[in-house]
Structure 1
């Protein structure tokens, strides 16, 4: 394909990764960001073998593994009985895969540093409202109706509440989920938790508490832990009104070992409320306009796939532009490359969510007694490991990637002692 003028809306992981792929392919790229300074949003996240493979393709794997913390399993127990109801181990499937817990600032920093080294411009403080077709190009418009730039292709990586997709023919039906979560980024030192696991405690499906040892935000910084409390959004105001100490006492009652984390939380300002929605853009493109990441698809965080799916989107779009000489062919090829993987994991996320975030006591009973027993019987451990890793079906070939050789090239350098 001839070299394109490309505007990318959003400086999150999807937008930054897409900019790197496309700039290295020779396209002229600029990023437009609504914040006055490009910066990460959120706490820790779990990088799966899928997202790590994309970072490896960008030459950034060594940088992120030096900051992240290896995760070998996901473990959850009933908060009242102590019974294990979730135990998914990456090594149940062959290949030596693992997860890497990272601080969002670490992922952003690694990608952003590469953007700066590549000389890709980022225009900050610009709130976009629309991407309009004009004379065979896409014009990005700001909230006052002024044209920000005209491009051969616009990539919308601005997230689940993107104004660009709202006005598009691909605008999805949004299903807001009833449950969200409070998140906090806390010091990891002197805390009691399994350093190799995402650890959770449950009371039926109404309460979920989690701890993710998330590594460091940057070289030389202290190790951090992402701590979260799942709750129904309708209960948020009542929870806040009861006071921070009442909430902490409730958490402590479920999980006494969480005290080292709770002691660090002094007021509500330390907790960020995350809201979730299920949405899918069909198709994830329009004329000279492509949607990637949460702009194209989002769901509950139960399988920890969000950032990883976004990075796969960036790789798939770049690959489609590389192998097709016309946008009219490349954009549908991008959609085909991601269709099956996205649909499968959205379906799985929807299926798993009620078992961990719902008002149903019956579903929780099934999870704790039936599902947890079945999960131990072959081939279920291997199947669950592939689901968590994001590799239940191959997401790599269609995006032009080769999966990392985990046991040879991709051993983590940084381990939390």
Structure 2
């Protein structure tokens, strides 16, 4: 008899693990509270580890066909001068919008796998499933059921805006200054993706007028993007990270993605690590019949690695928007890029 899994959340990690287990013959149900897959969203960077995970579920080539390959990126000062340039020619990354990635992950799932408009059932109603997978994001109800309120996400002291404007772009840039940064990247659909981050108290207000004022004396590329931006293509979120959980597993339930290890976006690894989680968990669950052992091995494999990335993302956030240490920051980046 086929094994069964309930996946709580139909985001990147949830759809990826559903796809892995379905391809291995498991009966999988995905519970997603949204009524459908999103129609809009900003670009995500897919690093080589994420591409390997996508290849493992047959989604790597479609992503490469839809996405934008990136080999180089520049770090700039607000006046446009270059701090450093990173060459990724040996480690090609791809940029793809969240809607396109989710559509790619969902397109080969068996009909009826995803129950849209359906909040996740509580864990005590899923005792007949071999495995329950909490892929329900930053404010994960699954995590709360397993570990209580002790491990709620913590505000990192910065808020972010993301958006997209018409146009084409071949390069990635990120501009750093005290207490703020601004990034511009390509994305699919003949659009340019952008993101801004400012150190501020939680709940900081501000739309395009605020951004145009805050970044109004930065270099021409930043100003041009903000002049082209519209309120309908703008997202604004405070940034949080997860405290260290004692485990990503409890009983027959596993957490993955932001439910387990939400991190600052500065390393561009949140979506990537959700994919790696999903494929690691899927591979371990399908490698034998001992589900308990597979879940413990998943925790040992993923918790230390992702906790390092949570810490690293926080450090990178501080480094990018430093004030007093800007000369040391710039020298460190140049050395890392082989430019000093």
TM-score by length of 1: 0.75
Are residues 124 and 233 of structure 1, via their aligned partners in 2, closer, same or farther at CA, if it must alter by over 3 Å?
Answer: farther
Q: Does 1:198 pair with 2:172? A: yes
The aligned length equals 338
Cα RMSD of the aligned pairs, angstroms, is 2.4
Does the CA contact (< 8 Å) of 1:73 and 1:88 recur in 2?
yes
Are residues 16 and 235 of structure 1, via their aligned partners in 2, closer, same or farther at CA, if it must alter by over 3 Å?
Answer: closer
Which ranges of structure 1 fall in alignment gaps of 5 or more residues? 140-149, 217-222, 381-417
Residue pairs, 1:304-343, within 5 angstroms: 304-343=268-307
CA offset at residue 275 of structure 1? 2.5
Q: Deviations over 1:238-274 (max 9, x none)?
A: 534xxx345324424202223442232244x432112
Alignment-derived partner of residue 364 in structure 1: 326
Which ranges of structure 2 fall in alignment gaps of 5 or more residues? none
Are residues 246 and 341 of structure 1, via their aligned partners in 2, closer, same or farther at CA, if it must alter by over 3 Å?
Answer: closer
CA offset at residue 332 of structure 1? 0.2
Q: In structure 1, how many angstroms separate the alpha carbons of the residues matched to 2:275 and 2:202?
A: 33
Alignment-derived partner of residue 258 in structure 1: 222
Alignment-derived partner of residue 275 in structure 1: 238
Runs of 4+ in 1 over 6 A off after TM superposition: none
Q: In structure 1, how many angstroms separate the alpha carbons of the residues matched to 2:37 and 2:316?
A: 34
Match of 2:188 among 198, 211, 215: 215
Alignment-derived partner of residue 162 in structure 1: 140
Are residues 260 and 16 of structure 1, via their aligned partners in 2, closer, same or farther at CA, if it must alter by over 3 Å?
Answer: same
CA offset at residue 215 of structure 1? 1.9
Q: Deviations over 1:316-369 (max 9, x none)?
A: 111111223222211101112223421332232222220124xx411333212x
CA offset at residue 225 of structure 1? 1.5
Compare CA radii of gyration and give the structure with the larger one.
1
Are residues 373 and 29 of structure 1, via their aligned partners in 2, closer, same or farther at CA, if it must alter by over 3 Å?
Answer: closer
Q: In structure 2, how many angstroms separate the alpha carbons of the residues matched to 1:324 and 1:278?
A: 34
Q: Deviations over 1:346-397 (max 9, x none)?
A: 232222220124xx411333212x313432449x9xxxxxxxxxxxxxxxxx
Does the CA contact (< 8 Å) of 1:201 and 1:255 recur in 2?
no
Q: After the TM superposition, which of the residue ranges 319-328 and 294-303 deviates more from structure 2?
A: 319-328
Q: Does 1:151 pair with 2:129? A: yes
TM-score by length of 2: 0.91
Alignment-derived partner of residue 98 in structure 1: 92
Match of 1:188 among 143, 167, 189: 167
- SS of 1:273's partner is strand
Q: Deviations over 1:255-299 (max 9, x none)?
A: 2223442232244x4321123222143310111111111111111
